[in-house]
Amino acid sequence: MAVAPHSLAAESAIDVLREGGNALEAMISAAATIAVVYPHMNSIGGDGFWVINGPGGQVGGIDASGASGLKATKNWFLDRGIVDKIPFRGGVAALTVAGTISGWGAAHQLSRRHLGGRLPLSRLLADAIFLAQQGSPVTASQAASTKAKLTELRDIPGFAETFLVNGQPPEAGTLFKQPRLAATLQRIAKEGTDTFYRGKLSKLMAQELSKVGSPLTAMDLNRHQAQLVDPLTTMIRTRSARAGRQAQLFNMVPPSQGVLSLMILGIMDRLKGWNHGPESAEFIHAQVEATKAAFRIRDAHLTDRAFMKRSPGSLLEPAFLDQLAAEISMQRAAPWGSKSKPGDTIWMGVIDAQGIAVSFIQSIYHEFGSGIVLPESGVNWQNR
């Protein structure tokens, strides 16, 4: 089974499964395809997060997110007249290494070493290369996002040449080709994922990034590695008729915000609204208030886990969740905290015949990320 926000990505995964590939191989193929056919929400210039339910129920993760560039210091931004806050768009916003390709590589290695994977990277990227070369239909979502963000993006280097037609947003259903991205994917298929960070491709992209004003350098790309991690976990009650039954939930470690979903469910589990139907006022109130509580903790503590002052796991300790739940009134709404800007990303899931399951996010943060599209490699870079 494969689930994706675009049918072509799901079909890529299903075709791999039909050829005897495993869930990790199928997800690599889906990840490549979704980067081509749903470009406003993700890109090979973004980050990736994997949660994998492996053989025997062993759960692991791949953190394929990139660090900020070594040059991206306070003084670097001040020297460029950026005093208040870092812009969301443009070269200065392209300040973190794009990690998702390293995640593809790590998943491919895990597949071969532990799951008997046999499909080469060239096969797994074949659909994406074809669709980038020959084109895919512009989705209604891409057309709408392009129109909505046109004013802030049309003058960003590379955006108009890549995503606009005669200076205007494309119509849904029209053919969208990305020949430069196709060539880059072909290079990755031939040379391996490491070329994105330590090969000829990385040298090219470092030069391109410098020209558009990004603080990222070849050294930043060279230093990057995907990390194998243990996902965060918590227990909640289920609505099963069997009394006392619990479910164990898993999600990614920071810098992803996976801990928030676990906190929200953990808090809801302690509130009476959980006992009502999902359309009831009690359930919705519990959900909203649990979300507010989790987001307050996010604003205070969540960052790159290397710099967190408390461990991510401590945010899921039963006593801490008890405390947060006790502070919630089921009769009164708490004030909203800091305002969140609208955003979106992509999630995909694959389960193979052996029961191996993959939950996957590939993200460029805001729609179209920084808006920067590198002129030769055709990579749209994130603004995380």
**251/72 Cα distance (integer angstroms):** 29
Q: Please give the class, per CATH, of domain 232-326.
A: mainly alpha
User: What is the per-residue pLDDT for 299?
Assistant: 82
Q: Can you say whether the dihedral through the CA atoms of 113, 357, 41, 178 is positive or negative?
A: positive
Which are the contacts of 294, defined by CB distance < 8 A and separation ≥ 6? 260, 263, 264, 267, 324
Q: Cβ distance 297 to 255 under 8 Å?
A: no
DSSP per-residue codes, 73-131: -HHHHHTTT--S---SSSGGG--B---HHHHHHHHHHHHHHHS-----HHHHTHHHHHH
Among the options 217, 238, 291, 345, which is catalytic?
345
Could you read off the pLDDT of 201-223 as tens digits, one per residue?
A: 999 999 999 999 999 999 999 99
Q: What is the pTM of this model?
A: 0.94
Question: For residue 80, how many C-alpha atoms fall within 13 Å in the half-sphere facing its CB?
Answer: 17
Judged against a pLDDT cut of 60, whether residue 342 lies above it is answered with no
Give the pLDDT mean for 44-65: 96
pLDDT at 241: 43
Confidence of residue 384 (pLDDT cuts 50, 70, 90): confident
Single out the residue of 127, 126, 149, 46 nearest to residue 373, CA to CA.
Answer: 46
Domain ranges for the chain: 2-228+343-363, 232-326
Catalytic: 345? yes
- The answer, yes or no, to whether residue 194 has pLDDT greater than 50, is yes
pLDDT digits (tens, 9 = 90+) for 238-292: 765 455 678 999 999 998 989 999 999 999 999 977 777 888 999 999 999 999 9
